[in-house]
Structure 1
């Protein structure tokens, strides 16, 4: 699908109400289909200033290219939907790419990549009322906890209130938890050891006054063999996140194998993957998406 940026800008300029109108008439579907699995393509990275893919520092900065890749991914059999911020979802609404798809709004993007305040991940994206008003199907939030940073308590509290607000509207919310720390150069790193991921799952599962609508979005641990033990920490349904998988086809193949094993676990219900499918090492978006769908 070729995206006409001039046409999108023309609509945004002359008929901004067209976005709400497109949302109102969008045909919806249940969160889970007949397979009881979820395959979601993620594209909420740019709003946090995370534009790079591998050694391509601004790979996601070309909006027309990103939208074309998203439309292609969403057109592939077995892809259930998309996770993104308002600017991208509004474009996809105008393009008619979200019909009969699961639409997940990204809720907190305030922790800009590389910023001194990166862990102060405030809710600058979709609010629960926005997700409900637009007829979207779920929300997602990022929860990074640094035991040495007192500000993490503020993030925890804000996350709990967002979980409450989503549950009050009977809207699923996907919580992506990490134990994080800064390295010797001050860069934020997520700890993917089994102990850290176990602890993050336990913390995220207990947030808010109800867990009825809470899902987890979790990484595969450094040692994939630890995943069975890690996922015993909670009964909440979970999806696997993609993360950075490397720059070569071999790296991509290795990621697929890690996902394949973890997808066999009883609480793991699917995948939410972004850059590694939209910008695969060999450039073949359709093949990368089809391979990921095949793992389900």
Structure 2
């Protein structure tokens, strides 16, 4: 298990060691031979989203989450991690980020279930901090609700982030959704036409698209959906409630599409049915990097 007491002691007495850990981190190219990526996502808690399937507090234990992340990042075929500064600083201190891609999650202000959920302000990484600490890119959650004025601020902030990351030659990973409020709850529209529209809106954000990647859900008619963009695309894993074998089958089919460059998966791998993190990660790694790809 993770030595949480040691992490707390460092934070209390020697916080400068966090910066040193980032400085000495062994980096790798974003792309290797097959050009595909498997990224483990762990930015959910910073938005107050702790649930996995029917367990509303599954991600509440920080030591438990760090232990699962360390296991995932130790597996062959895992290329990197996506997270907020609090988690990534711990992982850097643990030495778990060597030879891994690191993507910083930028906007976590749209707290899950809040009245301001769609005014998703940039409260975590900035492009400047991502560049200074040697991260490999930044990710934005860009939900577009036509009935909520907060979405305009999210769009403008996302555009600024895309421009700033590109100025540093860093990946800008946009996760777009058309979104609605229904009975006080936010719901992402996952029909093909809604996803296509979100792709076109997201693709036009920023002063250049040279470093823009998309993070998209696996939906029906995926080939038609991905025909909406020429940008490299990573598919998100979400928190599917059904049989994990069905999920793996859908990922496997999607890997054959030319726009798909890999997966960004969090809860599905970190909290899998049966709780065997290593086994779940190995399946995903084989789907992304298998010799037949």
Q: TM-score, normalised by structure 1?
A: 0.96
1:79-158 → structure 2 map (5 Å cutoff): 79-158=78-157
2:236 — aligned with what? Answer: 241
Poorly superposed stretches of 4+, deviation over 6 Å? none
Which residue of 184, 187, 199 maps to 1:186?
Answer: 184
TM-fit CA distance, 1:93: 0.5
Structure-to-structure mapping, 1:23-102, within 5 angstroms: 23-102=22-101
Q: CA deviation at 1:150?
A: 2.5
Q: Is contact 2:82-2:102 (8 Å) kept?
A: yes
Superposed displacement of residue 151, structure 1: 2.4
Q: Would you say the 8 A contact 2:120–2:150 is kept in 1? A: no
Per-residue Cα deviation, 1:231-274 (whole angstroms, up to 9, x for no partner): 0001000000011211x5x2x11111111111211111000000
Instruction: Give the match for residue 226 of structure 2.
Output: 231
Where 2:103 maps in the other structure, the secondary structure is strand
Return the alpha-carbon distance in structure 2 between the equivalents of residues 106 and 50 of structure 1: 14
Gaps of 5+ in 1: none
- C-alpha separation between the residues in 1 aligned to 2:5 and 2:175? 35
Q: What does the per-residue CA deviation read over 1:192-248, in whole Å, with 9 as the maximum and x for residues that have no partner?
A: 000000000111111111000000000011x2xx000000001000000011211x5
- Residue correspondences, number: 288
Single out whichever of 5-14 and 151-160 deviates more from structure 2. Answer: 151-160
1:272: which partner in 2? 264
- 2:143 alignment partner, SS class: strand
TM-score by length of structure 2 reads: 0.97
Asked if residue 218 in structure 1 is aligned to residue 213 in structure 2, the reply is no
Q: Equivalents in 1 of 2:154, 2:207: separation in Å?
A: 16
Secondary structure at the counterpart of residue 173 of structure 1? strand
Q: Distance in 2 between matches of 1:147 and 1:259?
A: 30
Superposition CA RMSD, Å? 0.8
